[in-house]
Amino acid sequence: MTKKILKTISIILIFGGLIYRYFLYIDFKNDCYIKLKPSFLELSSTNIKQGIKILKLVSPDEYTKFCQHVKVINPNYACGGLGGGCYYSNNLEKKEIDISTANGGYLGQTAAVIAHETCHAQQHQEGRDLNEQECYLVDDKVFKQIAEY
């Protein structure tokens, strides 16, 4: 009986660890919980998670906006292509952005793309028109903060 319980607990822990590693970003201190959708193109969510951590480190205000306005990241190929992102404004409650940067590349770019798409999510959730210029200013700011760091 004890072996069966230990085996079951081990399987649950391994399964839970894999889910956390590949499909969740959690920051309890900042009340930030992000689900990462599975992807065949992005076999690992490491790049996206590191991009989020860089955003948190260099631009706490943009990180706070990210945690407030995004709940799901879709790492599949999006309208932004590989190395970019996209925000589809078809569902206000979805709070989802598309980021396809995990196939390598500069982690600072990942952080900037996350901030840029978060800007669009915020615009939409506030009932404003999507303004590309405003969001380019956000990703430019993140790039500058990375360079200054």
User: What's residue 102's pLDDT?
Assistant: 54
Name the pTM for this structure: 0.87
> Per-residue pLDDT for 134 more than 80?
yes
Domain count, the chain: 1
Mean pLDDT in the chain? 87
Percent of the chain with pLDDT over 90: 50
Instruction: Name every residue whose Cβ is closer than 8 Å to that of residue 52 and which is 6 or more positions away in sequence.
Output: 25, 34, 63, 66, 111, 114
What digits encode the pLDDT tens for the residues 53-106? 999 999 999 999 999 999 999 887 767 666 688 888 776 667 999 888 655 667
Q: Which range of residues forms the domain containing residue 94?
A: 2-148
If we measure between CA atoms, which residue out of 93, 106, 94, 95 comes closest to residue 139? Answer: 106
DSSP E strands, 13-143: 24-27, 32-36, 72-74, 84-86, 96-100
